């Protein structure tokens, strides 16, 4: 195994001076735990700064993305050496800290063991889209999200940011014009587009021509989060789904409308990805939720085969079923993901994978895997209760990079 080392030497008075001149420095660089243990002790502030620098150098030398300073935490354990956590996860990094003669010295060593949870198990058949160094925003696809209604203004942004954090080059979120000011106020990185709604605050038949226009340059449509089920929305949605120019990820109320109307998926002329939770799956398949849960794999496989769609049956051990292809079962059970909005994030994330060129089944497996890995990272950092969908969004880039590097390492060993 290769031993990688990171070393840093810091002047204690320099860090003390920085803290005195700018008290916010501590909040930007140190975790809450580090701030508590270091208060009033300049050597501790300096040694933790040196440790963070040493870990960043180690990551850089190992070819890993360097974590932010505050993502690195030095954790002291009574009777044992200090440990290094990165984004809330314990690592295999060995750390030595000392201070003498006004200097703080840190040495970080990684003896070739994977960072974070030991032995990251790659999902069978996981494929991720290439990220060429010469790529630009056009390289990585365009996602159009159609979502939201009066009273459900968070869902559009969660789905759109799931797509953006998943790596899509361009993301446009189309929302009823009545809620456009609310959604647009939270959109910096995605493009908000108002849709004519005749004052209803819902997806309206008047919006269909505008959506079709936006889909003309899109690689994927994500539709459903927060739409509601008004009569106008039912009419507009069913019209939009006929003859789609690109594949769609269909979620939430869009699935409920399809189930109630008996819509024929073949009318879309695309291989779409549907992302039901167990109750929505029950409506689609005309089963009780309990019956779905009693045979999750079989239910997903039958529906996929009968209707020519890729089914992502959400929940503990999410099932991905596609016609004529092996069924994938994600073996994560992440209770931190059991909170409102994480399904919207997953829909956008799968859309991002499709936009970057993955086939529908591969996009679904990739999205589910990255989403679960992000959930585990959030759970390690935040705990099993109280995590938010926005926490999962923030963890998506690191989760994808972790899986990507593991894939690259596995490929190199072959």
* Listed residue (338, 340, 354, 337) closest to 396, CA to CA: 337
CB 17 within 8 A of CB 11: no
C-alpha torsion 344→347→348→354, nearest 10: 180
Give how far the C-alpha of residue 411 lies from the chain's centroid of Cα atoms, to the nearest Å: 24
Q: What percent of the chain has pLDDT over 70?
A: 94
Q: 119 exposed, middle or buried (CB, 10 Å; 0-12, 13-18, 19+)?
A: exposed
Over residues 364-375, the mean pLDDT reads 96
Q: Is 119 a residue whose pLDDT tops 50?
A: no
CB 274 within 8 A of CB 361: no
Give how far the C-alpha of residue 76 lies from the chain's centroid of Cα atoms, to the nearest Å: 31
Q: What are phi and psi of 326, to 5 degrees?
A: -60, 145
Report the C-alpha gap between 399 and 300 in whole angstroms.
26
Per-residue model confidence as pLDDT tens digits over 97-118: 998 889 999 999 975 544 434 3
**Where does the pLDDT of residue 65 fall: very low under 50, low under 70, confident under 90, or very high at 90 and above?**
low
How many other CB atoms sit within 10 Å of the CB of residue 27? 12
- The per-residue pLDDT for 412 is 73
Q: What is the pTM of this model?
A: 0.74
Per-residue model confidence as pLDDT tens digits over 20-29: 998 789 988 9
Q: Tokens in use for 124?
A: 């069978």
- The per-residue pLDDT for 114 is 40
**What is the dihedral sign for C-alpha 81, 86, 91, 96?**
negative
Give how far the C-alpha of residue 364 lies from the chain's centroid of Cα atoms, to the nearest Å: 13
* Listed residue (162, 257, 167) closest to 203, CA to CA: 257
Q: 392 exposed, middle or buried (CB, 10 Å; 0-12, 13-18, 19+)?
A: buried
CA-to-CA dists, residue 218 to 27, 302, 316, 335, angstroms: 41, 30, 32, 34
- The per-residue pLDDT for 370 is 96
Write down all domains in the chain, each with its CATH number in brackets.
4-110 (3.90.470.20), 142-413 (3.40.1190.20)
Report the C-alpha gap between 328 and 122 in whole angstroms.
12
Average pLDDT, the chain: 91
Per-residue model confidence as pLDDT tens digits over 223-265: 999 999 999 999 999 999 999 999 999 999 999 999 999 999 9
Our CA angle for 157, 159, 164, nearest 5°, is 90
């Amino acid at each position: 195994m290769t031993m990688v080392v990171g070393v840093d030497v810091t002047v204690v008075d320099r860090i003390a001076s920085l803290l005195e001149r700018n008290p916010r420095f501590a909040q930007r660089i140190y975790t809450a735990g580090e701030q508590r243990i270091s208060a009033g002790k300049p050597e501790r502030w300096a040694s933790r700064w040196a440790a963070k620098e040493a870990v960043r150098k180690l990551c850089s030398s190992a070819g890993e993305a360097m974590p932010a300073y505050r993502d690195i935490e030095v954790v002291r354990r009574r009777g044992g050496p200090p440990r290094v956590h990165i984004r809330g996860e314990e690592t295999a990094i060995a750390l030595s800290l000392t201070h003498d003669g006004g200097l703080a010295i840190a040495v970080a060593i990684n003896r070739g063991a994977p960072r974070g949870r030991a032995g990251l198990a790659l999902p069978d058949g996981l494929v991720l889209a290439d990220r060429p160094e010469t790529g630009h925003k056009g390289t990585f696809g365009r996602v159009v999200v159609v979502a939201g209604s009066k009273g459900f203004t968070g869902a559009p942004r969660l789905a759109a940011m799931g797509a953006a954090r998943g790596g899509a080059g361009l993301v446009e979120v189309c929302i009823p014009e009545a809620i456009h000011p609310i959604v647009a106020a939270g959109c910096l990185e995605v493009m908000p587009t108002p849709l004519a709604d005749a004052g209803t605050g819902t997806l309206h038949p008047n919006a269909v021509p505008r959506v079709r226009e936006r889909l003309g340059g899109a690689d994927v449509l994500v539709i459903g989060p927060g739409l509601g089920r008004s009569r106008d929305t039912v009419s507009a949605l069913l019209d939009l789904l006929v003859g789609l120019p690109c594949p769609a990820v269909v979620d939430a109320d869009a699935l409920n409308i399809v189930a109630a109307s008996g819509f024929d998926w073949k009318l879309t002329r695309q291989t779409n990805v549907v992302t039901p939770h167990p109750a929505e799956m029950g409506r689609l398949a005309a089963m009780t939720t309990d019956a779905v849960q009693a045979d999750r794999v079989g239910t997903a496989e039958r529906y996929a085969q009968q209707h020519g769609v890729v089914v992502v049956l959400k929940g503990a051990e999410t099932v991905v079923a596609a016609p004529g292809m092996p069924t994938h079962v994600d073996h994560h059970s992440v209770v931190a993901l059991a909170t409102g909005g994480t399904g919207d994030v997953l829909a956008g994330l799968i859309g991002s994978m499709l936009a970057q060129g993955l086939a529908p089944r591969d996009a679904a497996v990739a999205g589910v895997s990255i989403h679960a890995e992000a959930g585990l990272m959030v759970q390690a950092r935040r705990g099993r209760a109280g995590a938010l969908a926005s926490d999962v969004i923030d963890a998506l880039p690191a989760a994808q990079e972790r899986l990507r590097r593991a894939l690259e390492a596995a490929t190199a060993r072959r």
